[in-house]
Amino acid sequence: MNAVPVNYYIILSAILFTIGALGVLIRRNALVIFMSIELMLNAANLALVAFSSANAQLDGQIFVFFIMTVAAAEVAVGLALIVAVFRTKKSIDVDQINVLKG
C-alpha cells in the first residue's frame, strides 16, 4: 500500500494556515474571523498528526486532543464575548467595535 507522503500533509496544512490567517486579516465579521482562527488551529492539528505518524510517535496525536479541548473552551468564551458586544453595540462588524482608540 502506498502511503501519502508526509510532505503533502504539511503543504496542505500550510495552505490551510495561510487561508485562516488571511481570513482573520481580511474579513470584518467577528464570527467569520473566529472560524478563520479555528482553521488555523486545525492546520496546526493536521501538521501535528502528520508529523506524529511520520515520526512514529504518539505525542503529536495527544497534543491534538488537548488543542481541540482548548479550542472548544476558547470558542465558548469567544461567542459569549461576541454576544456581550452585540448587546451593547447591535453589531459584530469589527470595524464598528472602535470605542477604544488613540
Partner 1 sequence: MFDTTMIMAILPEILMLILGLLVLVFDLIWKKRDGRDLGWLTAGGLLFILIVTAAIARPAESTLVFGGMIRYDMMSYVFKLLFIFGSMMTSFFMMDIEQLGKRGEAYILLLVATIGMSLMASSADLIMLYLAIETTSIPMYVLAGFMRDDEKSTEAGFKYLLFGAMSSTIMLYGFSLIFGFTGTTALTAITDFTLPLAVGIIFLMMVGIAFKISLAPLHFWAPDVYEGAPTPITGYLSTASKAAGFAVLLRLFLGLFPETSPYAPTWTMIMAVLATITMTLGNAVALSQTNIKRMLAYSSIAHAGYALVGVVSLSELGVGSVTFYLIAYVMTNLAAFGVIAAFSRVAGSDEISDYAGMSRRNPTLALVALVAFLSLTGMPPFGGFVAKVFVFAAAVKADMIWLAVIGVLNSIIGVYYYLTVLKVIYLHRMEGENEEAHPIPITRPYAIALTVLSFAILAIGIVFGPWFNIASSVAEGLF
Tell me if 36 sits within 8 A of 20, measured CB to CB. Answer: yes
Task: State in angstroms the smallest separation of the CB of 30 from partner 1.
Answer: 7
Q: Which of 37, 59, 35 is nearest to 49 (CA)?
A: 59
CA-to-CA distance for 73 and 67, rounded, in angstroms?
10
Q: Which residues bind partner 1 (CB under 8 A)?
A: 10, 13, 17, 20-21, 24, 30, 33-34, 37, 40-41, 43-44, 47-48, 50-52, 54-55, 57, 59-60, 62-63, 66-67, 70, 73-74, 77-78, 80-82, 84-85, 87-89, 94, 97, 99-102
Nearest distance from residue 3's CB to partner 1, in Å? 16
Quick one: 2 or 100, whose CB is closer to partner 1? 100
Nine-digit cell at 6?
508526509
Quick check: helix, strand or coil at residue 26?
helix
Compute φ and ψ for 93, nearest 5 degrees: -75, 120
Shortest distance, position 70 Cβ to partner 1, whole Å: 5
Closest approach, Cβ 1 to partner 1, in A, equals 23
Quick check: 59 and 52 in contact, CB under 8 A?
A: yes
Of 2 and 101, the one with the shorter C-beta distance to partner 1 is 101
